Amino acid sequence: MSTSPRPDATFAELGLPVALVQTLRNAGIEKPFPIQAATIGDALAGRDVLGRGPTGSGKTLAFGLPMLTRLTGASAKPGRPRGLVLVPTRELATQIERALDEAALSLGLRVASVVGGAPIKRQADRLARGVDLLIATPGRLDDLIKQRAADLSDVMITALDEADHMADMGFLPQVTRLLDRTPKDGQRLLFSATLDGDVDKLVKRYLNNPVTHSTAPAEASVTTMTHHLLYVRDKNIKRTVATEIAARDGLTIMFVRTKHGADRLAKQLRGAGVDAGSLHGGKAQNNRVRTLAAFADGSVPVLVTTDVAARGIHIDGVSLVVHFDPPAEHKAYLHRAGRTARAGEDGVVVTLVTDEERKDVAAMTRKAGVQTDGVEVRPGDRKLVEITGARKPSGIALAAPAPTQVNAPKSANGGRPRRGRSGGAPASEAAQGHSRGAGAPRRERPAGESRSRKPAGAGGHARSGDTPTNSRRRAARPAAPAARRNRSAN
């Protein structure tokens, strides 16, 4: 039975310690999101929890805060974490570590992440110094255990985040092996955007009489998100339309099918004067970290990526998601779309659909439960401008991105925008009267102010745990340690 908290309960009323509540408040996080209000009490009471919420709903704190609270008051022995979070990708691991960093500090706990693609020796050394809450991708943790650098026998609470993604990526054998190494009577929290198929097998095998909290149906139910199908006659028109969309004001993610396709589109956009980075599993990890950081701080406003970035990753203020290539299936559509309209913000999702793709895309969006309108667009169309804020790019080619340096600072240009934008009326003007269009006014940031340094509670949604201290530390933190720490499975 669930403790059924009041939906309007405060973090303190849910049972979180004062120090934690204060740290959250400093970060501008005052009121629990629904999934947090629904699950924190049960998790604190030691119950196994099965939670489903839409992406961006605040799942990280929903499992992270009760985990930290339950770990408080004791200390991990070398190589023996007491709490474990398993995640599918290196980026998500780093994101969760950052989100919980300050909260852990306030409780005197040590948090670390271990992911592939980084020197394992350094991670073994970190574990040897004692880690209370370990965030890991399954493969690397498996390796560390084989090397006897990690032992899971003291793990009293385990969280699986994006469990469906781990299942889809074929991680279940490793995940089950790891869970088998944790104490049988340990507490387990399983969070996922969707709870079906293989996730169900995990639930049956590892969760003991779980309370289930679902704060949303499986369909795309984020009311601040609008969806459009943009019909483009052929591939050439599609590329020109995509370039005009990319030249808009605001952060844009473009999803493509293949790694090669991501590189090609990013190159094409830079050739037209739009600063774009490409991110996919074929890139070196330090390159991935730098690309994400430059996108997050706004210095490179367009991210062209494969489905590697479709899940879990949270970047503030992504106002438009473009399916440049339609996704393979409806779940991928929802995950990709979930990169926008996060934490209550507005967001627009458009799919570029060629004539021959129309039938498949219509079936897929129906399955995704998405209400879409379809409209024919050509370069320069008023409708295209209204929906996406598209505009003509400068046409002045930008240089290829600088070669990746392992020790380069997070934002090599100090956070200054270095985009080659065309002048002309801002997209927001062109989109007047369409407040839900992606071209609608966005929050302006003074030049040089990093997105990640935006004070929490100042009209936006800061990352969790994003206190001024934490943010300053992060802004000053070189990319290299993160680069060394990370490798996701794809």
The site for ligand AMP (CB under 6 A) is made up of 29, 31-33, 36, 56-61, 314, 342-343, 461-464
CB nearer ligand AMP, residue 163 or residue 390? 163
| Secondary structure tally for the chain: helices H, strands E | 18, 14
Q: Minimum Å distance from CB 368 to ligand AMP?
A: 19
Q: Minimum Å distance from CB 394 to ligand AMP?
A: 32
Q: Minimum Å distance from CB 465 to ligand AMP?
A: 7
Contact 130, 76 (CB under 8 A): yes
Crossing angle of the two packed helices 468-476 and 90-106, in degrees rounded to 10: 140
Query: What gap in Å lies between CA 421 and CA 276, rounded to an integer?
Result: 12
Let me know how long the chain is: 490
What does the block give as tokens for 273? Answer: 């004067």
CB nearer ligand AMP, residue 353 or residue 482? 482
Q: Minimum Å distance from CB 89 to ligand AMP?
A: 13
Query: What gap in Å lies between CA 261 and CA 259, rounded to an integer?
Result: 5
Ranges of H-type helices in 340-399: 358-367, 382-388
HSE value, Cβ hemisphere, 13 Å, CA-based, for 309? 33
Q: Is residue 12 helix, strand or coil?
A: coil
CB nearer ligand AMP, residue 67 or residue 364? 67
Identify the CA nearest to 381 among candidates 205, 240, 225, 170: 240
User: How would you write 171-237 as a 3-class SS string?
Assistant: CHHHHHHHHHCCCCCCEEEEEECCCCCHHHHHHHHHCCCCEEEECCCCCCCCCCEEEEEEECCCHHH
Q: Minimum Å distance from CB 464 to ligand AMP?
A: 3
Residue corresponding to tokens 């994006």: 162
CB nearer ligand AMP, residue 343 or residue 480? 343
Q: Minimum Å distance from CB 407 to ligand AMP?
A: 28
Phi, psi for residue 9 in degrees, rounded to 5 = -60, 145
CB nearer ligand AMP, residue 283 or residue 463? 463
Q: Minimum Å distance from CB 176 to ligand AMP?
A: 25
CB nearer ligand AMP, residue 344 or residue 395? 344
CB nearer ligand AMP, residue 56 or residue 250? 56
